[in-house]
Structure 1
Amino acid sequence: MSASDGMKFIQSWEDLVADKLQGIRRRAVLKSSFGIAAGLTVALKAPAIRAQDKSLSLMILGPDQKAVAWMKSALDEFKSKSGYAVELRQSDWGSAFQKLLTATASGTLADVCMMGQVMTPALASKGAFLPIDSYLKGWAEIDQFYVPMLKDGAFGGKSYALPVYADVRTAIYRSDILEKVGISALPTNWDDFKALAGKLSRKNGGPLDAPFFANQDKSVGLMQTYSQMLVQAGGSYFDAKGKSILSSESGLAALQYLVSFFAEGLANPNIVYQGTGPTPLVQGLAAMTYNSVVEPRNAHANNPGVEKFVVAGLPLSAKPGGTPATLAWINKLGIGANTKDPDGAWQLLSFLTSKDSSEKFAELWGGLPSRKDLKDAPFLASINKGFVDATQYAGALPITPNLLQIQKEVNIAMQSAIRQVQSPADVLAALDRKIDEITRA
């Protein structure tokens, strides 16, 4: 689903809801026409049926066969503990947002739903989910979640979702290529990172034409790289009043830093990852990038011989001695607003975000835990420690219903910037105006 299609769908929300309400009224009239005897039969039987009918539904996104098998087993366990039978629904990520929007408008949203980062504010702003603050109050588990990841499930001052795992980004390297220029210690700040790219550059006697890959792809990878640099520079997307401030001093510093790799021949804007096969880092076309555990998993699938050389460092700081900073793309679970059993839905939600369940979500969906008490989870032993260490420095993107459209616009602007069609200052000034139009700030 494209960003523009997503926004059109959101804008048609009221019409969809109105149609649904009309349908409910029509059905109510038809039901009232049943005979008295039939009505008595239903009335007598209904209480017994409701007493036995402890059922819920769950929507999960992007599972593979192994994940589905685990989930079915987990739901059997939940049934034995709670008495609730759970209908399992699933969707691929690509069509998930539209399915959740449609289900919300038609009143068929699952009792508990999985959602991606950009989906949460867009759906919460339309009343798709129940606030869960009353359940979180006094809940013993709440302090186990990383605070930025927990905050990412809030919108408009209310909590709507709990994180289950995160795609945490950091600086990633090919250690075997770094060794060719005598580097063993990984960079910690922008200056060192840039200096390493210079040493790796063929023009300086290094082994690579374009040492740094800025995650250009057919989606929003370049926007994700810029966003990480933005937080490392101390910047943010919006001010306290909701106006876009990417052209601020911090935002400009981040874009100038990104563009400098391309301007100095240390990155190639024409190298674009198509989404399948080995990434440029795994191919050996680059030795440095900003990404996640996706990189070593890509190596495992496409070039197993180099997997051991794909290593993660701490997120960078903009200045020497500064605090590392990065972002995480956080996937969550929330309770559908149309649920007929919110207490039962909370039981399911809290079960799925428990320590044991959260560990399996992270392991099987290919992310990192959202809970602090899982930092030593057994499955993490097979993941480079740098990824796990990066989690404590990870924040989240801004919580706005327009994030789907905004990230697309940022990615387009970044493409212009790295090709040096416009100056970084002009790119960001135009981008601020565009984002304010989208948010009507």
Structure 2
Amino acid sequence: MKGWRGLAVGAAALSVAVAGCGTSSDNAGGDSGEPKTLTVWLMDGSAPTTLTDALNKEFQDSNAGVTVKYEVQKWNGIQEKLTTALTSNNPPDVIELGNTQTAKFAAEETLYDLSGDASDLNGDQWLGGLKDSLTWDGKQYGMPFYAANRTVIYRTDLFEAAGIAAAPTSRDEWVAAIEKLKAANAADPDFQALYLPGQSWYTLLSFIWDEGGDVAQPQGSAWAGALDTPQAKAGVDFYKKLVDVSGTKAPKDADEATPQQMEVFGTGKVGMMIGLPWELAGAVKANPDLESKTAAFPIPSKTAGKAAPVFLGGSNLAIPAGSQNSDLAKAYLKLLSSKKYQDMLAEGGSVPGTSTDTQKLATNPLGKALAESAPNGKVTPTTPAWAAVEAGQNPLKDMLTAYLTGAKSLDDATSGANASLSKTLAG
């Protein structure tokens, strides 16, 4: 998934990645003792070394003659490297893929069909949103690895000073909290109750989904935009309401990376931001005083007491179709899907992709917010064409800027974006 760099809960940091790839050698368990090499590629920062060291050692100890060749891949140029590796005569055996990348490689028939192996990989515990991202043409092309999602990260001290007794559990309570923060800090012209960039479209997805809408819908074997529906328009309109009521000074023509919103939050002049765990870690690194003054709550739904659906960013694990060690690769994935290693992911701050048990994650406010949000997570349309939406002139970003600046009405902004999105998805 585009945009992931790391994950941290409180002071503990764990990088999160969302793409990957590996090399090969076929005999599950290696019972014959014949020397074999299982090549595993994971992304830089994808999993802590404590996990991968223990995993690789246990797998080798349980499979005579097998050596795990563990290789960490860099982000720069990974798309091209994946494409080359998956079409070679000697592809990796286990690879990590971003959840928005999986459909592309599945459609190209470069991934092994694991539909018949899901039960061995704890398929009944797969995180729903990531499972959807693995599905192509009715088949499963991998196993969920881990995920994380956006929560509302806030200053506990500023909430207390403003008389906000508890974290909001509905949109109305959220707006009321913004108003209280503004009133309590009215003397500071630099204060922002909520920092919300104009093009934070992953956040927008939560509001659209919460209204019962979507950005696109399948039409036969293709997809078409759904941004001009009443439900999608309501989500866009609520986004504008938050921007207007918060008085955010964030640019309306840029996303959360320009400037980096964690840097803005780190100035101490912001009450809330809608962000990822690693963004909180970045803010705390820049301003250590924030570590004891921050917490998080799920993005609230319009329905009181519920969390809004969230974009579930994360990674999947897959086996290249050309792997010469597919049985060994399945055994490796089976071990990684076990509770032991899923708990290790949770302890590091990730939402485990193949375990419904989030107890290990919910040991602090940020982890608790992640755990509460993740089961309601969703992903972008599972189609290879979606990559062009994110890589190109993203129509959702253009739509938000046009509406927030008044350049277009809600109807015109959503209609134009919908036409552009449908064209891109049609290839």
2:326 counterpart of 1:342? yes
Which amino acid is the alignment partner of residue 399 of structure 2? A
Q: Secondary structure at the match of 1:344?
A: helix
Deviations 1:289-330 (A, max 9, x none): 222322432243222221232211133112446664222112
Give the conservation status (yes or no) of the 8 Å contact 2:97–2:315: yes
2:310 counterpart of 1:326? yes
Partners of 1:247 and 1:322 lie apart in 2 by: 26
Which residue of the other structure, out of 53, 60, 72, is the alignment partner of 1:79?
60
Which amino acid is the alignment partner of residue 363 of structure 2? A
Note the C-alpha offset of 1:2. 9.7
Q: Which residue of structure 1 aligns with residue 412 of structure 2?
A: 426
Q: Which residue of structure 2 aligns with residue 18 of structure 1?
A: none
**CA 123–387 in structure 1, closer or farther in 2 if over 3 Å, else same:** same
TM-score (norm 1): 0.79
Note the C-alpha offset of 1:130. 0.7
Q: Secondary structure at the match of 2:224?
A: coil
Consecutive unaligned residues of structure 2, counting only runs of 5 or more, are: 4-31
Note the C-alpha offset of 1:129. 0.7
Which residue of the other structure, out of 94, 99, 106, is the alignment partner of 1:124?
106
Q: Which residue of structure 2 aligns with residue 42 of structure 1?
A: none
Note the C-alpha offset of 1:264. 4.5
Partners of 2:98 and 2:197 lie apart in 1 by: 20
Note the C-alpha offset of 1:359. 3.0
Count of aligned pairs: 387
Note the C-alpha offset of 1:140. 7.0
With 301-310 and 273-282 compared, the bigger mean Cα shift is at 273-282
Matches within 5 A, 1:10-409: 52-63=34-45, 67-68=48-49, 70-83=51-64, 84-136=66-118, 138-139=119-120, 141-201=122-182, 205=186, 209-214=191-196, 222-241=200-219, 242-264=223-245, 266-270=247-251, 273-274=257-258, 278-320=262-304, 324-364=308-348, 366-377=349-360, 380-382=362-364, 384=366, 385-408=368-391, 409=394
Note the C-alpha offset of 1:200. 2.1
Note the C-alpha offset of 1:169. 2.0
Partners of 1:376 and 1:2 lie apart in 2 by: 28
Structure with greater helix percent: 1
Partners of 2:342 and 2:136 lie apart in 1 by: 22
Partners of 1:56 and 1:236 lie apart in 2 by: 41
Q: Secondary structure at the match of 1:421?
A: coil
Give the conservation status (yes or no) of the 8 Å contact 1:269–1:419: no
Q: Secondary structure at the match of 1:213?
A: coil
Give the conservation status (yes or no) of the 8 Å contact 2:200–2:397: yes
Q: Secondary structure at the match of 1:55?
A: strand
Larger radius of gyration: 1
Partners of 2:261 and 2:194 lie apart in 1 by: 19
Q: Secondary structure at the match of 1:52?
A: coil
Which amino acid is the alignment partner of residue 206 of structure 2? Q
With 68-77 and 230-239 compared, the bigger mean Cα shift is at 68-77
Note the C-alpha offset of 1:270. 2.3
Partners of 2:107 and 2:197 lie apart in 1 by: 31
**CA 293–2 in structure 1, closer or farther in 2 if over 3 Å, else same:** closer
Partners of 1:86 and 1:259 lie apart in 2 by: 51
Partners of 1:435 and 1:324 lie apart in 2 by: 24
Give the conservation status (yes or no) of the 8 Å contact 1:149–1:396: yes
Note the C-alpha offset of 1:281. 2.5
Deviations 1:353-390 (A, max 9, x none): 222223334555x522224453122x652553222222
Partners of 1:312 and 1:256 lie apart in 2 by: 24
Q: Secondary structure at the match of 2:270?
A: coil
Give the conservation status (yes or no) of the 8 Å contact 2:130–2:316: no
Give the conservation status (yes or no) of the 8 Å contact 1:131–1:158: yes
Note the C-alpha offset of 1:415. 3.4
Note the C-alpha offset of 1:197. 1.7
Q: Secondary structure at the match of 1:57?
A: strand
Note the C-alpha offset of 1:111. 0.8
With 235-244 and 341-350 compared, the bigger mean Cα shift is at 235-244
Note the C-alpha offset of 1:341. 2.2
Consecutive unaligned residues of structure 1, counting only runs of 5 or more, are: 4-49
Which amino acid is the alignment partner of residue 134 of structure 1? G
